[in-house]
């Protein structure tokens, strides 16, 4: 069955620390890969996406993610987090038939 696995449910970091959130998926076909973010009290919104081309994609607010096809992974990174990055982050995989499958989410709390 298709699935998306996020390695950490909760992450607590101090400001300026580096961030890496793991994401692995299982799906044999062509996929589009996404990271969505949900700030407290706000909608889910797109952080970045990968469709094809350079496997290292850059998104908003200094985030980037790397697609490693051989590992079925799409990890999210940021070199230096800020307090305003406190949010819940969802890895998602877009598959055929317009379906998007979400990971369980990772709650990031950044201490000022």
Binding string, residues 72-101; x marks residues near other proteins by CB under 8 A: ------------------x-x-xxxxxxxx
H or E segment at 32?
Answer: strand 32-38
Instruction: Kindly state the smallest distance separating residue 36's Cβ from other proteins, in Å.
Output: 8
Is residue 32 a contact residue for other proteins (CB under 8 A)? yes
- Calpha distance 40→83 (Å, rounded): 12
102 binding other proteins? (CB under 8 A): yes
d(CA 12, CA 44): 21
34 binds other proteins (CB under 8 A): yes
Burial of 78 (0-12, 13-18, 19+ CB in 10 A): buried
104 contacts other proteins (rule: CB under 8 A) = yes
Of residues 17 and 38, the one with the C-beta less far from other proteins: 38
DSSP state at residue 86? -
* Whole-angstrom distance, CA of residue 100 vs CA of residue 103: 10
31 binds other proteins (CB under 8 A): yes
**Site for other proteins contains 58 (CB under 8 A):** no
Shortest CB 57 distance to other proteins, Å = 13
Structure letter (DSSP) for residue 9: S
């Amino acid at each position: 069955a298709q699935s998306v696995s996020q390695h950490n449910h909760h992450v607590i970091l101090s400001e300026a620390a580096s961030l890496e959130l793991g994401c692995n998926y299982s799906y044999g076909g062509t996929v589009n890969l996404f990271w969505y973010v949900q700030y407290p009290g706000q909608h889910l919104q797109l952080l970045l996406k990968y469709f094809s081309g350079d496997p290292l994609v850059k998104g908003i607010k200094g985030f980037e993610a790397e697609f490693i096809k051989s590992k079925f992974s799409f990890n999210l990174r940021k070199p230096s987090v800020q307090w305003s990055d406190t949010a819940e982050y969802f890895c998602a995989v877009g598959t055929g038939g317009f379906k998007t499958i979400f990971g369980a989410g990772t709650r990031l709390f950044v201490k000022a």
